[in-house]
Amino acid sequence: MLRAFAPGNMRPMRRVVIVIGLCVAAVGCGPPPKDPAVVAYEQFVAALRGRDPLRVWQGLAPDSQARLAELLGLPKAPSVEAVQARLGVRPGWGFELDLPQQARLDPAGSDELRRVVVGPLAGAPRRIPMIRVGDTWRVDLFAAAPASGGTGQGIDPRPGTPR
């Protein structure tokens, strides 16, 4: 047993220790897991990019769904089909978005029921509130504001219509 620690046998042992140390360091150096609110925001953006009105609608916070329905002249709890028809969204229809690129959680003002994700929207950094509904995080789209701390006017789905 003492022969394993003899001066001539230390090189193989040193290599084993170095390899184990490198493996441990490589596993510990991975990126931290994303916050669930950031993941939900990225899934919402993927639904927009993927032209999936059902997932877009499901990704909106209840207040954003109600506001969108109101702006579209629909009942308070419209069907996804009614929203899709009113917006004219069809499979294969899409628009360019520069989201989410570098979305990140803003810890200021975040808690267990509300979080703020900062990411580019319409070419500018925005603070997008995320609301926890049950076990899922949803986008409070109309409450988005400039990330620079400005007052922001939110987002209006009707082009050219001031809020």
CB 105 within 8 A of CB 38: yes
Cα–Cα distance between 81 and 18 in angstroms, integer? 60
Reported pTM:
0.66
For CA atoms 31, 33, 35, 40, give the dihedral sign.
positive
Cα–Cα distance between 99 and 135 in angstroms, integer? 24
* Structure confidence by residue, pLDDT tens digits, 31-45: 778 899 999 988 888
Segments of the chain with pLDDT less than 50: 94-96, 99, 150-163
Q: What is the pLDDT of residue 151?
A: 44
